[in-house]
Each structure stands twice: as C-alpha cells, then as structure tokens.
Structure 1
C-alpha cells in the first residue's frame, strides 16, 4: 500500500493506493507544516486519524509533499515522524511545489508553477528539475497574495478604519474582531498563519466590492513582482496556479 500526501498549513489530504494505482481510501487531517508545528503536534495530528493509524503497518511507501518542507531541518522532522508511524514504509518528503508541478505540467514541459493557499510560493520547472529564486522566510515577511496575507491586510485595514463602513460592519458581524481575541490567536496559540487565512473567505465572498478588488489586485501584483518576475524569459513560458 502506498500513501500519497498533499499537505498545506490548513489541511492535509491523504490517498492510499495499491500497486495497480487503485484508490483504497481517502482521508484528511489538519495541516502539517513542520516550520510552524512541533514534532509532537505533527505526530498527534496523524495518529489521531483512525484510518491512518489502523493501516500504519500495511504501508510500504509514503510520498509526502508539504508546505514548509523546502529546507532540510523541517524536512528531516517530517521524515522522522512519518518513519516512526509507518515503520514498514520507505518515506519520501518533498516540498509541496513538486506536487503542484506533477499536477499541472506535462512531462518535460518547462513552466512556472505557483501555489496560492494559506501561504504562497513560485517555482520554475525546467522540464527536469524544480528551481526557486526566493528563499521563503515564512508568513510574517512573505506569502504575498496568500490566505494569510489577505487576512492580515483585512485586520490591519479594519483597525486602521480603512474598510468602507458597510463592508466593515459585515466583517464584524461574521468574525470575532475583538482585540484580545485576535492577539490571543496571533501570539498565544499555534498556527497563527492558519488563523489569519480564515479571514480570506471574506475576500472571496465580497470580491466584487471595489475595496476588495483593490486588495486582491495589490496582493497579486506583489506576488507577480516579487515571485514570478524573478525568472528570466517568464513571458515565454506557461504559468500554472494551484491552491485552495
């Protein structure tokens, strides 16, 4: 049995297949980003899933593609957790960009592949290997146009009184925007990036509002400028977007 895993900061999708490629089952856990979660929390989120725990000794290979796995320390953390749970399996851990490339490009087709979800990143696939120009410094400094980016901008604009009154009232009705609630989630609880991304659905629902349109355009503009345009000859290549 093989496990193929696509993990973001908010959720993780697991698919089990047999040697012929037949899907045996699909399941989901909370996000497993090793850059923002401890080893203990990552392990807990996996073993608390009954389906995964039940078949842990039947798995012979695990392919994990995840956010936060682009550098060696978090990648090693994830490998260690997976090997401790699926003890009979070989384990491969790569950043989520590889899964995005496999999902969107034809074999050997050079292209630019972008992920926009809770976080964001951009890579160049040259037909053989995946290249990144920008080293991610995490959600506080980067992640333009992502869910947590838009959540952060909404909260800032709400408290700086920059959101139009009627839209601000709708925002306050839908979410708990008390200062203590926000600060507790940002500075005292785990996964502040995921918390920020929960506000992004407000952007989607109200995307036709002029204020929201300007917010989206600014975020996407930053992503294009800071990520996509880093690559030479980008105008000659197909550009793929994938994400939540």
Structure 2
C-alpha cells in the first residue's frame, strides 16, 4: 500500500444554495471522507461567510484524511456564479496564493454534469429550487438554456411547482379554480385552518422561494392521490424541463447524453418519470452525487485520467460514505 507521501490527493467541492459538500480521494479514486457545510452560493450569501465555509471544509477533509493541503494535487471548487468575473476574483483572492496551479473552479453545473458523464461532454438538466440546462460539447463549447431565476424563469423547478400549487389552492378557495387535494395537504403542512392563513407563512418567510420549493413535495403527494390538478402541474413541469433539454441539444448540434440533476430529478419523482417517458434524447441518471462529480473535475483538470477503474472506485467508495 502506498504511503501518503507517494499518493496523489484530490479535493472536490460542490457548492449549493442550501448546503455545501466536500470530498477527498486518492489517485485510484478511493474516497476517504465527505464533509458537509453551510450554503456557499456567493450570489445569495456574503462572501466572507462563503469563504469561511469553503476553507473550513478543505481543512476538515484534509484532517480526516490525515494529510496536509500541500499534498493535494488538485482542488476543484464548483460554485454558483463562478463563471462571473466578480465571483472568480473573490475565489482567486481567497485561494490562488496558497494553491496556485493546483486550484480549479467553475460553475456548480460542472459537478452535476460530471456525476453522470465522468468528465465527458454532455448536457446537465437541473431541476431543484430553480431550473437550467447546460451543455459542454466535445470541443469545449458551452451553452445554457434557462436558469433566469424565479422572477423570469425556473420553469419546471421545485419553486415553480410549489408556486403554482399554492396559487391553485387560493384560486380554489376564491371559487375561481377547481377543488383540489392540494388544499388539504397545504393546510396540514402549514398547520393552518384556512387558505387565507397561508399568506402569512409564505410572504412572511425569510426565504419564500425556498419555502415554495419545499411545497413542491405536496404536488407529488396530491398527484399520487390521483388529483387532476396536481397531475396537470406535473405534466407542465416535465414538458418545460424537456423543452430546456431539447433547446440545449439544438444549440450543441451533437448527440450528447442528458444528465438529470437537482432535487426534483435526483429522486424517483413523478416529474422525473414523466421526463423519462417524454424524452427523445438519451438520459443518464447519475449513480453518484455531484460532490463525486467535483472530484472527477479536480482529477481531470489536474491532468489525472479518470478511467473505468478509477470511476468504479469513486462510485463504490463515494456511495458507501454517502450512506453513512
């Protein structure tokens, strides 16, 4: 067995709006540990807090792997907005001096994409709190469709589903819309006795966007109870997501696989089932989480080849740690 001095180590970070994950592995793909921290979205959280979260996670995984950061061959940080100049400048200022050529960073869609393609070209279709389709072609060209935020886009996202469901409940209460099981589910979820009381919970929440995104689970429940309106919302969401992927594919002019990611598509939801049924493109359901995709990015950008044996080791060891 190789000693730490003979091994190459890689750290991958998958930054998210609700939590951040970091993992460390050796050159064989053996994942040593996975750590979780607070949100690290620099577009919605002060940079000082984001920087502290990222540095703490790097320290944590190095300590748990019993190595020094000097022994790490590549650190990849996937963050929302990392393709924007002001975010890149912040990351450089925080990490470039210490990590120099060992530092790599990119938008957080890359870990999600690589969790399904293992570093190869493809399209990632994300439906979580928001929604977006992003492509990385065989020539390294990038395309994006959607991702314009909850005011101007996010079609087919958890927020979009939750918002439309809440609106349907209020329309039914007014007498403008059809009765729906969603009413009972919303009242029970928020512990209120009338739809009118929902307003205080939704508008008064510190993060109403996240509050409504969580409510998308109620649409799933209602649809499984054969509620006509909820099933209509599921169909609309799936159609919107397929449109994102189709449009992105047209831009690439390549037959690329589409990787499904984000909370709405990562699980066996009715939305995912509908997308799979309607998709006319090859779909990949990742076997690993995006933080493993971040490790793939760290390895490939540091010049280390991720062959099938490395991928299998990442898959097995990473999955075992995630289940703990």
Q: What is the match of residue 236 of structure 2?
A: 218
Secondary structure in structure 2 of the residue aligned to 1:134: strand
TM-score normalized by structure 2? 0.61
Shift of 1:54: 7.7
Select the residue among 244, 247, 250 that pairs with 1:229.
Answer: 247
- For residues 22 and 235 of structure 1, the distance between their equivalents in structure 2, rounded to whole angstroms, comes to 33
Secondary structure in structure 2 of the residue aligned to 1:40: helix
Give 1 or 2: higher helix fraction.
2
Count how many residue pairs are aligned between Structure 1 and Structure 2: 237
Shift of 1:152: 2.0
Q: Does 1:11 align with 2:30?
A: no
Secondary structure in structure 1 of the residue aligned to 2:204: helix
Higher relative contact order (CA 8 A, sep 6+): 2
**Stretches of structure 1 lacking an aligned partner (at least 5 in a row):** none
Secondary structure in structure 1 of the residue aligned to 2:235: helix
Does structure 1 conserve the Cα–Cα contact (< 8 Å) formed by 2:122 and 2:135?
yes
TM-score normalized by structure 1? 0.78
RMSD: 3.4
Q: What is the match of residue 68 of structure 2?
A: 58
**Stretches of structure 2 lacking an aligned partner (at least 5 in a row):** 1-8, 192-196, 264-324
Q: Does 1:127 align with 2:147?
A: no
Q: Bigger radius of gyration, 1 or 2?
A: 2
Shift of 1:174: 1.1
Q: What is the match of residue 143 of structure 1?
A: 154
The 5 Å alignment of 1:69-108 reads 69-81=82-94, 83=95, 87=98, 90-105=102-117
- For residues 131 and 52 of structure 1, the distance between their equivalents in structure 2, rounded to whole angstroms, comes to 33
Q: What is the match of residue 257 of structure 2?
A: 238
Shift of 1:93: 1.7
Shift of 1:213: 1.7
The 5 Å alignment of 1:183-194 reads 183-185=203-205, 189=206, 191-194=207-210
Deviation digits for residues 40-91 of structure 1 (CA, Å, limit 9, x no counterpart): 332354467697398499334421123333423234334545x29x945743
